[in-house]
Amino acid sequence: MTSFVLGTGSCLPRRVLTNRELEAMVDTSDEWISTRTGIKTRHIAGPGEETSKLAAGAAREALRMAGLGPGDIDILLVATVSSEMGMPSCACLTQKELGAEAAFAYDVNAACSGFLYALDLADAYLRRDPALKIMIIGAETLSSRVNWRDRDTCVLFGDGAGACLVSGASPGSGLLASRLFSDGRLFDLLCMDSARGFNPDLANARNTGSYITMTGREVFKHAVRAMSGAVEQVLAQGGLKASDIALFIPHQANIRIVNSLIERLGVPSEKFYVNIAKYGNTSAASIPIALDEAHREGRLRPGDLLLCCAFGSGFTWGASIVRW
Ligand code: ACO
């Protein structure tokens, strides 16, 4: 039997920022952050830990697990909204970092849902040629996009990368079902308004950058409704029930969102993999980091059904079922 996932990996920056440290930066408390979000610490990238470097670190781990080298990668997809450069893509920078010269590489921008969008793309390529080896990475350094004076957002996000190397699986394995959605109408509830920096201020010869802004309570409601709907639809597409799923990996944005999902779906909480306390919301990296941890902890056995679901800026959201 040929496996779909050949290897997984993750890479976190060295610096860990605690809630206690945040108390000294903004008007917040460990108690507020812990009870409202479930987050205790997050990793923050420093010099030499740019998005592409973290992405390459995660990919190296996945290659090591697969017993393959960078030259074996045919396609390199990086889901990110926080590359260190606007151009070229983070994927091309990651390709250079890895030495994956045989691959073609590009980015996928779907915010926190990016990894699931990239997984869906990989599946489409594999239907054309099952022999391809596709590296899917979610990598973010949102610490560089956060206003560290805005307590509404700065306590939530963390940096990191996760990677998953996939190839054509035996029939009945691999990506069994996938439902993706987007709706741009409410884009301004969660965005990074680079439009303000789009028209240069010629009189003063400068551009004005901007930070992530979020209407948290509204995003929360949409996230719960959208993700539980996507889970129900992907289960229906696969002809499956929630009880058939061995492990759920939700996007790690807020423990209360995850708990609402658990309640709505009526699934035992032990079936949900949660690591938000350590990493915060790492956007597109959150699912692959959790996947790598769950895999290394032996939470997935051959034949198990894995369900991942995500929600993020756009809005974008979706759910995928993989037979391990
Ligand atoms: N510390 C202390 N108090 C705070 C903080 C803080 N860090 N942040 C906000 N507060 C205050 C608010 O000012 C407010 O005070 P008030 O009642 O006096 O007005 C109070 O806490 C409650 O604020 P809410 O915004 O209502 O708090 P809520 O319970 O909704 O939690 C949170 C906020 C954590 C942001 C939550 O709404 C959330 O998780 N939203 C969804 C995030 C998400 O899923 N994002 C999607 C993916 S991200 C991506 O795509 C990149």
Report the CATH number at residue 251: 3.40.47.10
Q: Are residues 192 and 63 in the same domain?
A: no
Q: Are residues 59 and 110 in the same domain?
A: yes
Res 243 pLDDT > 60:
yes
CB 30 within 8 A of CB 19: yes
Q: How many folded domains does the chain comprise?
A: 2
What stretch of H or E contains 121? Answer: helix 114-128
Q: Are residues 179 and 117 in the same domain?
A: no
* pLDDT computed for residue 142 by the predictor: 95
For the record, the structure tokens of 243 come out as 């009880």
Q: Residue 153 C-alpha to ligand 1 middle, in angstroms?
A: 7
CA dist 318 and 324 (Å) reads 19
Q: Residue 236 C-alpha to ligand 1 middle, in angstroms?
A: 33
Half-sphere exposure of 27 (CA within 13 A, CB side): 0
Nearest CA to ligand 1 atom 49: 312
Using the 8-state DSSP alphabet, how is residue 169 labeled? P
Task: Determine the residue of 81, 155, 193, 220 to mutate for testing ligand 1's pocket, defined as the one with the most ligand atoms within 8 A of the Cβ atom.
Answer: 220
Annotation says 43 is catalytic: no
Q: Are residues 156 and 230 in the same domain?
A: no
What stretch of H or E contains 283? Answer: none
Nearest CA to ligand 1 atom 32: 216
* Residue range 136-163, pLDDT digits in tens: 999 999 999 999 999 999 999 999 999 9
Residue 23 CB partners (closer than 8 Å, separation 6+):
29, 30
Res 102 pLDDT > 60:
yes
CB 63 within 8 A of CB 165: yes
* pLDDT computed for residue 195 by the predictor: 54
Q: Are residues 161 and 193 in the same domain?
A: no
Res 196 pLDDT > 60:
no
Q: Are residues 117 and 262 in the same domain?
A: no
Catalytic residue among 164, 251, 254, 295: 251
Annotation says 112 is catalytic: yes
Indicate the residue type of 39. Answer: I
Nearest CA to ligand 1 atom 26: 217
Q: Residue 223 C-alpha to ligand 1 middle, in angstroms?
A: 13
Q: Nearest to residue 164, comparing CAs of 133, 124, 131?
A: 133
Looking at the DSSP bridge assignments, the partners of residue 180 are: 318
* pLDDT computed for residue 173 by the predictor: 85
Q: Are residues 266 and 138 in the same domain?
A: no
Please work out whether the CB of residue 22 comes within 6 Å of at least one atom of ligand 1.
no
90-98 vs 51-66: helix axis angle to the nearest 10?
A: 50
**Mean pLDDT of the 119-144 span:** 96
Q: Are residues 289 and 192 in the same domain?
A: yes
Q: Are residues 241 and 114 in the same domain?
A: no
Average pLDDT, rounded, for the chain: 94
Res 312 pLDDT > 60:
yes
pLDDT tier for residue 201 given thresholds of 50, 70 and 90: low
* pLDDT computed for residue 293 by the predictor: 98
List alpha helices for 133-254, DSSP H: 151-154, 216-238
* Residue range 9-19, pLDDT digits in tens: 999 999 999 99
Q: Nearest to residue 111, comparing CAs of 310, 320, 322?
A: 310
Of 116-125, 150-159, 185-194, where does mean pLDDT reach its minimum?
185-194
Q: Are residues 87 and 191 in the same domain?
A: no
**Three-class SS state of 277:** helix
* Residue range 64-88, pLDDT digits in tens: 999 999 999 999 999 999 999 989 9
Residue 322 CB partners (closer than 8 Å, separation 6+):
4, 5, 119, 174, 175, 176, 305, 306, 308
Q: Are residues 10 and 151 in the same domain?
A: yes
* pLDDT computed for residue 87 by the predictor: 93
Indicate the pTM of the whole model: 0.95
- Which range of residues forms the domain containing residue 14? 5-171
Q: Is residue 242 part of a domain?
A: yes
Annotation says 199 is catalytic: no
Q: Is residue 202 part of a domain?
A: no
CA dist 137 and 242 (Å) reads 27
CA dist 302 and 3 (Å) reads 8
Which ligand 1 atom sits nearest the alpha carbon of residue 219?
41
Residue 302, number of CB atoms within 10 A of its CB: 9
Q: Is residue 91 part of a domain?
A: yes
Please work out whether the CB of residue 254 comes within 6 Å of at least one atom of ligand 1.
yes
* pLDDT computed for residue 140 by the predictor: 97
Nearest CA to ligand 1 atom 7: 151
* pLDDT computed for residue 171 by the predictor: 80
Please work out whether the CB of residue 282 comes within 6 Å of at least one atom of ligand 1.
no
Q: Are residues 50 and 189 in the same domain?
A: no
CB 22 within 8 A of CB 107: no
CA dist 320 and 235 (Å) reads 9
Q: Is residue 183 part of a domain?
A: yes
Report the sign of the C-alpha dihedral through residues 233, 234, 238, 239, in that order: negative
CA dist 246 and 273 (Å) reads 11
